Amino acid sequence: MAESNKMKDMSVNKLMIQMGIPMILSMALQAVYNIVDSAFVGNMRVGSEAALNALTLVFPVQMLMVAVGIGTGVGTNALLARTLGQGNSKKAAKVAGNSLFLGVIIYVVCFLFGIFGVKAYISSQTVDTEVLEMGVSYLRICCVISFGIIFFSLFEKLLQATGRSLYSTIGQVVGAVVNIILDPIMIYGIGPVPEMGVKGAAYATVIGQVASAVLLFIFHMKLNKEFEHDAKYMKPDTGIIKEIYAIGLPAIIAQALMSIMVYVMNLILKFNPSAQTAYGLFYKVQQFVLFLAFGLRDAITPIIAFAYGMRSKKRIQDGIKYGLLYTIVLMILEIAITEIFPGAFATLFNAGQSREYFISAMRVISISFLFAGINVAYQGIYQALDGGIESLVISLLRQLIIILPLAGVFSLFVRNGQMGISLIWWAFPITEVIACLAGYVFLKKIRKNKVDVLN
């Protein structure tokens, strides 16, 4: 079945599975970059504890770069899918071209931060000179050579919008394999390659990202035939850019809030470096779990957006139903794994003095995965139906308005010795439950105003 017809004619249940599985794998492999780096760095012969702490501190900026790339891609994805659903190939070409123009602007900003802003950022979170040096080295490399992750994120969404999610997964697999192969070679020094430590981890990461971006560029040029590819379509179009960010800006803010949340949590936990490192390690496991939900969301959004462009009430309703159902199943499975095997994850990272804090965080925060996954699915539904504000509000509740004040208050009891550090971890399940209730109210409102009125 032709890809353009598949989005229109295939049953939504089957389409959700066919598109969702490759996207879930793709996002899981994207999360692997950070987990693999931490696993290899945690087993360095010298300075492994400092290196793990350094990677914890740089993680928010890495996620911020991903946030801007993916958020721009999410806006492009939904707008392109809807435009193709309307049969407007000329506008689709402009949407794709303008997204690539935006990618160039994003890279320039990341490059400049890598040159001038990295040291000030890392020094705000630590006074340990070894951690500072490692963090600056790692993050500078990731920022200066960030064009790989930025353009991978854009080409991935361009392929997903036309139903070609399998090819984005192939690109992600290639990048992950390159990263995994190069990590031990460049970190420990194997063969003619010198031992580079955390610098080697950074180089392995960016090389894998560039490999993925190049491969997806080739797939995009050869396979996305529903619209033209020409440099003239990269000419900035204010109207197109506004439409992209009307959908994508809430997604960027949602992802960026994750970075802000981690940064502030690092500051809250600064009184206990072992707990700070444990949270950083657990957050990478948490991101792996939530990235699976993000992958399914990236199937939900174009499917519902395409149906919304067609004005097909039934396909929209099916997209909502199956999107939420499969998200719940996926999250229950992940909760079972993280609750049963916390010790195995701690051993993978060689968590050392942070081990007990890490296991405590995993057992408590994992409870929140079910509600967090549903919130992510809600946001994908909102974005497909022009509900950017609702998506933004859920993100603000989850990652700023509730979580940070709650964790800050709980930390006061911990510092005074009245409660254990696990009290801080309980801020996460409480936050996700409250946000999920708000998300359900928003979903009912959007269905009433956007879906029920369709013929």
Q: Residue 1 has what pLDDT?
A: 42
DSSP state string for 39-56: HHHTT-SSSHHHHHHHHH
CA distance 265 to 256: 14
> In sequence order, which residues have a C-beta less than 8 Å from that of residue 124 and are 6 or more positions away?
none
Confirm if 56 and 277 have CB atoms less than 8 A apart: yes
Both tokens of residue 251?
């997604």
Task: Tell me how crowded residue 229 is: count the other CB atoms within 10 A of its CB.
Answer: 14
> According to the model, what pLDDT value does residue 81 have?
84
pLDDT given for residue 283 in this prediction? 83
Beta-carbon contacts of 22 under 8 Å, excluding residues fewer than 6 positions away, are 165, 166, 168, 169
Please name the residues in contact with 422: beta carbons below 8 A apart, sequence gap of 6 or more: 360, 361, 364
The Cα–Cα gap between 302 and 296 comes to 11
**Locus of tokens 């999410």:** 74
CA–CA dist 78, 157 (Å, integer): 9
pTM above threshold 0.75: no
Which of the 8 DSSP states describes residue 194? P
State the sign of the Cα–Cα–Cα–Cα dihedral 71, 300, 384, 427: negative
Upper half-sphere CA count for residue 277 (Cβ side, 13 Å): 23
Sign of the C-alpha dihedral computed for residues 259, 263, 266 and 268 taken in this order: negative
Which is nearest to 370 in space by CA: 290, 257, 282?
Answer: 290
Each residue's pLDDT tens digit, 130-160: 999 999 999 999 999 999 999 999 999 899 8
Give the helix/strand (H/E) hosting 20: helix 12-41
pLDDT at 5: 67
Residue 366 DSSP label: G
Taken in order 283, 252, 30, 119, is the CA torsion positive or negative? negative
**CB-based burial, 1-12: b 16+ in 10 Å, e otherwise:** eeebebbbebeb
Place of tokens 């081990």: 355
Site of tokens 């600056």 = 136
> What pLDDT tens digit does each residue of the chain (455 aa) get?
455 567 888 899 999 998 888 878 777 776 776 677 778 888 888 888 888 888 888 888 988 898 899 889 989 988 998 888 888 888 999 999 999 999 999 999 999 999 999 999 999 888 889 999 999 999 999 999 999 999 999 999 899 888 887 888 888 889 888 988 999 999 999 989 999 999 999 999 999 999 999 999 999 999 988 888 988 999 999 999 999 998 888 778 877 888 888 889 988 998 888 888 889 888 888 888 888 898 899 889 989 988 998 889 999 999 999 999 999 999 999 999 999 999 888 888 877 788 999 999 999 999 999 999 999 999 999 988 988 789 889 989 998 999 999 999 999 999 877 788 889 999 999 999 999 999 999 999 999 998 888 86
Integer Cα distance of 162 and 19 in angstroms: 10
Q: What's the rounded Cα separation, in Å, for the pair 202 and 384? A: 35
Nearest of 418, 115, 387, 139 to residue 247 by alpha carbon: 387
**What is the per-residue pLDDT across 181-194, written as a single tens digit (0 to 9) for each?**
999 999 999 989 99
Residue type, 376: V
CB neighbour list of residue 238: distance below 8 Å, 6 or more residues apart: none
Neighbouring C-beta atoms of residue 232, cutoff 10 Å: 9
Which two tokens mark 172? 């992600």
Contacts of 11 (CB under 8 A, 6+ apart): 318
